[in-house]
Structure 1
Amino acid sequence: MNARLESVGGRLPRFRGRLHDARTATVVGRLLGAAVAVCFVTGLISHYLQQPPGWAANVLPSRPVWGYRLTQGLHVATGIAAIPLLLAKLWTVYPRLFGWPPVKSVAHALERLSIAVLVASLLLEIFTGLLDTTQWYPWPFPFRQTHFALAWVAIGSVLLHIAVKAPVIAAHWRRGSAPADPDAPDRRSFVAAVLTAVGGVTLATVGQSFTPLKATDLLAPRRPGDGPQALPVNRTAAQAGITGTRLAGWRLRVAGPTPYELTYRQLTSLPQRSAVLPISCVEGWSQNAHWTGVPLRDLLDRAQAPHDARVRIVSLERGGNYAVTEMGASYARDPLTLLAVSLGGRPLDHDHGYPARVIAPNRPGVLQTKWVTRIEVLT
């Protein structure tokens, strides 16, 4: 299975080894392609739920309640699984990177350029995404916008590569396409090793969103159940600049056709509703929790807001990218969308948004605004 590198007369190295062939590359490539496809589609869902185009703001679905938990969990899981698959794919083809002459024709030059873009974009996309799960951003560019744009470059490069290599892929797609293949046993061992690596990294990280496997969540940055009130926290009150002084005299201000203000005591005296809803973060972790609060639509009705109105939520948070968020009518009018005041039967911990936070079904965690101080009706 291992390649031998030979150098003859100072010329470029020549590789002698098995499994650096089209059949092995095809077997690994289709696994990698499936992971990239799922990661791309779920990434689009995540992006447009976070930043919907104007025409979709009021029609994005708030159900199923676990929708974003599933799609974002799949997004992160397939992104992590793609790492050993991509490395294995590169291993099967790397001797060809040293082919001589490096460029044989204009068509060959374009093919090599497309492969360079493909490899670079996939490596950058996957590894920046991995660092995002740890909330580490050692680069000067904005992650979300760059990640979204780069995803289109990566998927376009994949599709172009498939189109160029379609005859080779078709010739080696089926197991029986290479009769009397002496490398078949070693190839099966190699693929089994790659799948074991994929299974290992998945098992060690997927528990952050698939809680039945939380006991195996050894490598993910979040573990379900860890944190105040048994729920993880990404951004604490201290990090958001929420102090006792800022909370003193807190009021909820609802700005609409009939504006009004509520103290904390007045808010908690209103009719409450309880719901079990997940908090699902873009970094991949998620967990169900028992929330209690005032349905947002009740607060909007009291302000005589139109039923198709969008809502702007303003937090006391300072310096956060999501201190101000907007919510379409499909979410604002859902009976499960709450301005929550308690978690697990107890008042919200400061790190979970005391005195009040938004919790809505099928919505990214970054938009579940904490430390809410103002609700504005947009017309």
Structure 2
Amino acid sequence: MGDRRRFRRLRLPDSLPASLPGLSSGRAAELLERTPSAPGFWRSPVRGVRFTAVLGLVLLGGITLLFVTGLLSYAAYNPDLNPVNDKTPDKGVLGFYLFAWPTGPHWLYRLTQGLHVTVGIVLTPVLLAKLWSVVPKLFALPPARSVGHALERLSLLLLVGGALFEFITGLLNIQLEYLFPGSFYPLHFYGAWVFFAAFLAHAGLRTPQAVRVLRSGALSGNVPGDALASPSPAEPTLSRRGALAMVGAGSLLLLVTSVGRSFDGPLRRIALLTPRGAAEPGPGPNGFQINKTAATVGITPAETGEGWWLTVSGPAGDLRFTREQLLAMDQYSAALPIACVEGWSTSDQRWRGVRLKDLAELAGYPGNPPGVLVESVQRSGPFRRAALRDNQVRDPRSLLALQVNGKDLSPDHGYPARIIVPAAPGVLNTKWVSRLTFGDL
């Protein structure tokens, strides 16, 4: 009873009247105590600055890694090379860091994008727990005590809104890759910059305090003046250590059921929560993961059958080659994976075909070939045309692939010919190639 009487004597927020029309001040105070703005509304004994500090420091490292690997993923598309690669043409100064994406190591994009997606999935329980731990502050009154306080609340709004937006759009794109056809890139790119700006401001203000809180004592106790701890906590059913263990277990479960889409063997078979997990798409040399099938994009056998030819353009003019003529050229092999923006990847597959630099020489560029614009038989959809840099063309592992793992490409893997380039995002490994235009891009 003592705690309840003391709680009822709490002063009403300055921004609210001492009484409401038709109610006594005591009755008004009692009603206000039942709203989310009242400190006693939130009664979980788990909440506290120490619990929140642990989650915050985990997110500090994790979200920084997400941001860096996300920027690397954007750079891997070489958006400053050619408009066909650039899905955020109005980025302005936000593209200040872009650089020529390298071709080595050949698993580079597989690593960076696999980390980006896996860490994002694993951090989801941590983010939700962190938002739950600070939700009382979102309802605190008055909404602004000063200009500085108002700016801080605004940064929190951007932080919470940005975090939810980035995680939700990212998770939906992993699960339903065609939900944001073409629009996912600008949505996620610009949203990331807004969110990370708010994140940096918040981290700069709160990280020193979080470190001090964790150094001050055991996790189970409350810090004097703890603004997140309930003034009248309910009976505990779970300790703070137990709550953190539950969050960690959730993250571990998501890791085990998602990371396998980047590996072969048992881990892929239990990747239940991500596409391109579980069973491979059929047996045989072409039995590895596919991004888009020929049927999905409307590729017909008539377009890729005996009447197909490849046009190679450059200073030597337009040259045409049938598949038989390409097979008669010097053939080279390269063991390379396919890695996609959704985070899935294959193991190294053994590709065989004509080197891009040899085709550039036929087009009239001996020695140091320039970049190339690749066009597909595919008539609609993103990345049916893609540009590759000169360093990608020069790499001896960059092929116009005609076979994989000792057999002809299947229609879904790009028959009669596809591009395969080390360390490039999967969408730049164009399938059903119809034209290569070498020159300044």
Taking structure 2 as the reference length, the TM-score comes to: 0.79
C-alpha distance in structure 1 between counterparts of 2:97 and 2:369, whole Å: 13
Q: Could you tell me which runs of 5 or more consecutive residues in structure 1 were left unpaired when the two chains were aligned.
A: 1-5
Deviation at 1:257, TM superposition (A): 1.4
Say if 2:39 is the partner of 1:18.
Answer: no
Question: What do the CA deviations read for 1:274-325 (whole angstroms, capped 9, x no partner)?
Answer: 2210000111110121211111111111222251511100100011211110
C-alpha distance in structure 2 between counterparts of 1:140 and 1:220, whole Å: 18
C-alpha distance in structure 1 between counterparts of 2:144 and 2:155, whole Å: 13
1:279 aligns with 338
Aligned to 2:101, what secondary structure does the other structure show?
A: coil
- Give 1 or 2: higher strand fraction: 1
C-alpha distance in structure 1 between counterparts of 2:219 and 2:298, whole Å: 68
C-alpha distance in structure 1 between counterparts of 2:327 and 2:291, whole Å: 26
1:3 aligns with none
Deviation at 1:113, TM superposition (A): 1.1
Say if 2:358 is the partner of 1:298.
Answer: yes
Q: Could you tell me which runs of 5 or more consecutive residues in structure 2 were left unpaired when the two chains were aligned.
A: 1-7, 9-27, 82-95, 224-237
What amino acid is the match of 2:350?
H
Give the alignment partner of residue 251 of structure 1, picking from 306, 309, 314: 309
With over 3 angstroms needed to count, the CA separation of the structure-2 counterparts of 1:183 and 1:204, relative to structure 1, is: farther
Give the alignment partner of residue 112 of structure 2, picking from 71, 76, 89: 71
C-alpha distance in structure 2 between counterparts of 1:141 and 1:173, whole Å: 44
Deviation at 1:94, TM superposition (A): 1.2
Deviation at 1:261, TM superposition (A): 1.3
Higher-Rg member (1/2): 2
What amino acid is the match of 2:352?
T
C-alpha distance in structure 2 between counterparts of 1:103 and 1:358, whole Å: 57
With over 3 angstroms needed to count, the CA separation of the structure-2 counterparts of 1:8 and 1:349, relative to structure 1, is: farther
Equivalent residues in 2 for 1:74-223 (5 A)? 74-136=115-177, 138=179, 142-174=183-215, 177-178=216-217, 181-182=220-221, 186-211=239-264, 213-223=267-277
Following TM superposition, the consecutive aligned residue runs of length 4 or more in structure 1 with deviations greater than 6 angstroms are 55-58
With over 3 angstroms needed to count, the CA separation of the structure-2 counterparts of 1:56 and 1:378, relative to structure 1, is: farther
Q: Residue 418 of structure 2 contacts residue 431 of structure 2 at CA under 8 Å; is this kept in 1?
A: yes
Deviation at 1:164, TM superposition (A): 2.5
Deviation at 1:186, TM superposition (A): 2.2
RMSD of aligned alpha carbons: 2.4
Deviation at 1:167, TM superposition (A): 4.5
With over 3 angstroms needed to count, the CA separation of the structure-2 counterparts of 1:56 and 1:257, relative to structure 1, is: farther
With over 3 angstroms needed to count, the CA separation of the structure-2 counterparts of 1:166 and 1:29, relative to structure 1, is: closer
Deviation at 1:171, TM superposition (A): 2.0
C-alpha distance in structure 2 between counterparts of 1:100 and 1:57, whole Å: 44
Aligned to 1:222, what secondary structure does the other structure show?
A: coil
Give the alignment partner of residue 290 of structure 2, picking from 213, 220, 233: 233
Equivalent residues in 2 for 1:333-372 (5 A)? 333-372=394-433
What amino acid is the match of 2:173?
D
C-alpha distance in structure 2 between counterparts of 1:284 and 1:211, whole Å: 14
Give the alignment partner of residue 28 of structure 1, picking from 50, 55, 70: 55
Question: What do the CA deviations read for 1:25-75 (whole angstroms, capped 9, x no partner)?
Answer: 110011112111111111111111113324999942100000000000001
C-alpha distance in structure 2 between counterparts of 1:42 and 1:271, whole Å: 38
C-alpha distance in structure 2 between counterparts of 1:294 and 1:117, whole Å: 50
Out of 246-255 and 222-231, give the one that drifted further: 222-231
Say if 2:30 is the partner of 1:9.
Answer: yes
Deviation at 1:240, TM superposition (A): 1.7
C-alpha distance in structure 2 between counterparts of 1:47 and 1:262, whole Å: 34
Taking structure 1 as the reference length, the TM-score comes to: 0.92
C-alpha distance in structure 2 between counterparts of 1:140 and 1:41, whole Å: 24
1:314 aligns with 375
Say if 2:322 is the partner of 1:263.
Answer: yes
Aligned identity (percent) is 40
C-alpha distance in structure 1 between counterparts of 2:134 and 2:376, whole Å: 51
Give the alignment partner of residue 392 of structure 2, picking from 331, 340, 347: 331
Aligned to 1:149, what secondary structure does the other structure show?
A: helix
Question: What do the CA deviations read for 1:232-290 (whole angstroms, capped 9, x no partner)?
Answer: 21211112221122224111111011232111111111111122100001111101212
What amino acid is the match of 2:275?
P
Give the alignment partner of residue 67 of structure 2, picking from 25, 32, 40: 40
Q: Residue 208 of structure 1 contacts residue 223 of structure 1 at CA under 8 Å; is this kept in 2?
A: yes
With over 3 angstroms needed to count, the CA separation of the structure-2 counterparts of 1:256 and 1:61, relative to structure 1, is: same
Number of aligned residue pairs: give it.
372
Out of 90-99 and 181-190, give the one that drifted further: 181-190
Out of 194-203 and 90-99, give the one that drifted further: 90-99
With over 3 angstroms needed to count, the CA separation of the structure-2 counterparts of 1:47 and 1:58, relative to structure 1, is: closer
C-alpha distance in structure 1 between counterparts of 2:329 and 2:278, whole Å: 31
Q: Residue 272 of structure 2 contacts residue 278 of structure 2 at CA under 8 Å; is this kept in 1?
A: no
What amino acid is the match of 1:273?
Y
With over 3 angstroms needed to count, the CA separation of the structure-2 counterparts of 1:276 and 1:224, relative to structure 1, is: farther
C-alpha distance in structure 1 between counterparts of 2:139 and 2:248, whole Å: 27
Q: Residue 60 of structure 2 contacts residue 203 of structure 2 at CA under 8 Å; is this kept in 1?
A: no
With over 3 angstroms needed to count, the CA separation of the structure-2 counterparts of 1:181 and 1:56, relative to structure 1, is: closer
What amino acid is the match of 1:257?
P
Deviation at 1:178, TM superposition (A): 2.8
Q: Residue 82 of structure 1 contacts residue 126 of structure 1 at CA under 8 Å; is this kept in 2?
A: no
